[in-house]
Amino acid sequence: MHGRCAGRIVETEAYLGLEDLAAHASRGLTGRTRVLFGPPGHAYVYLIYGMYECLNLVAEPEGSPGCVLVRALEPLAGIALMRRRRPTARRVEQLCSGPGRLTMALGITRKLYGASVSHGALTVRNWADGPGFDVEVTARVGVRHCADWPLRFHMAGSRFVSGVSPARRA
């Protein structure tokens, strides 16, 4: 949830820290990666391709960098606002189906770098009574290093998944 907008996470990718050459943390502690080495439950928001912001959630204990990239959401609340932020999205399935689209639709920017995701403007919660689902696992997309590692997880059959196949790597 961010402000009036909310959605169910339907696609993620894991980044495993120092040994994972596709992870920003593999280069060590820098000003950019500082939050990754901190406690879990914080946002790592960064700019990619000089134009898109991406949201990662720090997921490992302090000192052990690791995070989860949120790749896609199923929009649940604030859809009208998401449409205003993403006027080129023709269908609701396109609003948050990719990490850059997701942050644009939800209004997530680098100003949220380091923010707690357990309380405040940006929150991630467990949907305790939500419907069950199967998870499919594939290789990550858009990475050059460690590209074959099976660290992309998405909700089986979801029409809100980004639709990028591992074969279409950058």
CATH code of the domain in which 120 resides: 3.10.300.10
167 lies in some domain: no
Beta bridge partners of 67: 15, 58
Entry pTM: 0.92
Look over the chain and give the mean of its residue pLDDT values, rounded to a whole number: 92
List the domain range (segments joined by +) for residue 72: 6-124+133-155
Domain count, the chain: 1
pLDDT at 99 over 60: yes
Mapped onto helix, strand or coil, the DSSP state of residue 152 is strand
Residues contacting residue 52 through CB under 8 Å, at least 6 positions apart: 99, 100, 103, 104
166 lies in some domain: no
Q: Cα-atom radius of gyration of the chain, to the nearest Å?
A: 15
119 lies in some domain: yes
Residues 116-146: tens digit of each pLDDT: 999 999 999 987 777 788 999 999 988 999 9
What is the distance between the alpha carbons of residues 85 and 58, in angstroms, rounded to a whole number? 26
Tell me, what's the pLDDT at 165? Answer: 56
User: What are the start-end ranges of the E strands in the chain?
Assistant: 6-15, 43-48, 52-58, 67-77, 135-138, 152-155
54 lies in some domain: yes
**pLDDT level of residue 6 (50, 70, 90 thresholds):** very high
pLDDT at 169 over 50: no
Residues 11-46: tens digit of each pLDDT: 999 999 899 999 999 999 999 999 999 999 999 999
**pLDDT level of residue 164 (50, 70, 90 thresholds):** low
